[in-house]
């Protein structure tokens, strides 16, 4: 099982954006005659869930964004600040600038968004989702579930020996952020049709006011150069 945990909180703190997204407010302050209205922004987080052993460089508008080396399976860049509108996103191998896939992504003003590199080979693609994050002042935690395992059946996300949190998510399907009690859970990814447990995650503490993305990753029947079925947890805020 491949388990990854990535914290993105520090990126939002640096940008002062926690309240912006959790409360759904606009990044525009009231201003007097002598004040200038703040420029609208959008945020984009990029994660590699392509189930291979390959590593990638990522370019946004022709600028390389991964500064700490090529991004491997499960790697997340964290939220970057961009202007609203269209942006070109390109993935290359670690040793080349030739595009493996390049697509335009449209970002709305004052939103947080996640882009996932999915599948492999000729099926390599992007999945982009708007992040409707939970309320940072809440006493609850917020969890969403995304099935990014190519060829997998519909999955449920459940608490071990407990209730289903998110049900019936086919490949590329995502839930909204679901409110849960803030505490530690052992989560399981289950086959929706058979209730068979496919992945058991390690115990993880979901904290009050924070939003988390749980992802089913990898392949049920991988080759030697591919990643097996596993999971990833992203701390969005």
Backbone angles phi, psi at 133, to 5 degrees: -75, 160
DSSP codes, the chain? --EEEEE-HHHHHHHT-HHHHHTT--S-----TT--PPPP-EEEEEEE---BS--EEEEETTEE---SS-B-TT-B---EEE-SEEEEEEEEETT--SEEEEEEEEE-TT-EEEEEEES-GGG-EEEEEE-----TT-SEEEEEEEE--TT---EEEEETTS-EEEEEE-TT-BPPPEEEESSEE-EEEEETTT--EEEEPPPEE--TT-EEEEEEESBSS--TTBPBSEEEEEE--
Spatial distance between the Cα atoms of 205 and 56, rounded to a whole number of angstroms: 30
- Stated pTM of the model: 0.85
Q: How far apart are CA 164 and CA 49, in angstroms?
A: 24
| Whether 207 contacts 140, CB under 8 Å | no
For the chain, 237 residues long, give each residue's pLDDT as a single digit of tens. Answer: 444 444 444 444 444 444 444 444 434 444 444 455 678 999 999 999 999 999 999 999 999 999 999 999 999 999 999 999 999 999 999 999 999 999 999 999 999 999 999 999 999 999 999 999 999 999 999 999 999 999 999 999 999 999 999 999 999 999 999 999 999 999 999 999 999 999 999 999 999 999 999 999 999 999 999 999 999 999 999
Q: How many CA atoms lie within 13 A of 237 on its CB side?
A: 31
Per DSSP, what are the bridge partners of residue 142?
Answer: 179, 211
Length, in residues, of the chain: 237
Strand partners, 111: none
* pLDDT of res. 12: 44
For 213, the 3-state DSSP assignment is strand
């Amino acid at each position: 099982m491949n388990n990854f945990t990535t914290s993105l909180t520090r990126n939002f703190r640096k940008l002062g954006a926690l309240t912006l997204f959790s409360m759904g407010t606009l990044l525009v302050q009231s201003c007097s005659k002598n004040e200038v209205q703040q420029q609208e922004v959008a945020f984009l987080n990029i994660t590699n869930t392509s189930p291979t052993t390959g590593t990638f460089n990522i370019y946004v508008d022709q600028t390389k964004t991964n500064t700490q080396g090529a991004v491997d399976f499960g790697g997340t860049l964290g939220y970057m600040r961009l202007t609203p509108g269209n942006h070109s996103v390109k993935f290359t191998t670690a040793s080349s600038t030739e595009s493996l896939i390049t697509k335009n992504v449209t970002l709305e003003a004052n939103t947080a968004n996640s882009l996932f590199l999915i599948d492999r080979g000729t099926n390599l693609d992007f999945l982009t989702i708007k992040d409707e994050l939970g309320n940072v002042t809440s006493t609850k935690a917020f969890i969403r579930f995304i099935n990014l395992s190519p060829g997998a059946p519909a999955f449920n996300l459940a608490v071990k020996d407990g209730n289903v949190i998110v049900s019936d998510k086919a490949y590329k399907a995502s839930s909204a952020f679901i409110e849960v009690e803030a505490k530690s859970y052992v989560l399981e990814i289950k086959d929706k049709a058979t209730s068979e447990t496919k992945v058991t995650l390690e115990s993880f503490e979901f904290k009050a006011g924070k939003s988390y993305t749980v992802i089913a990753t990898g392949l049920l029947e991988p080759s030697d150069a591919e990643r097996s079925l596993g999971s990833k947890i992203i701390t969005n805020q």
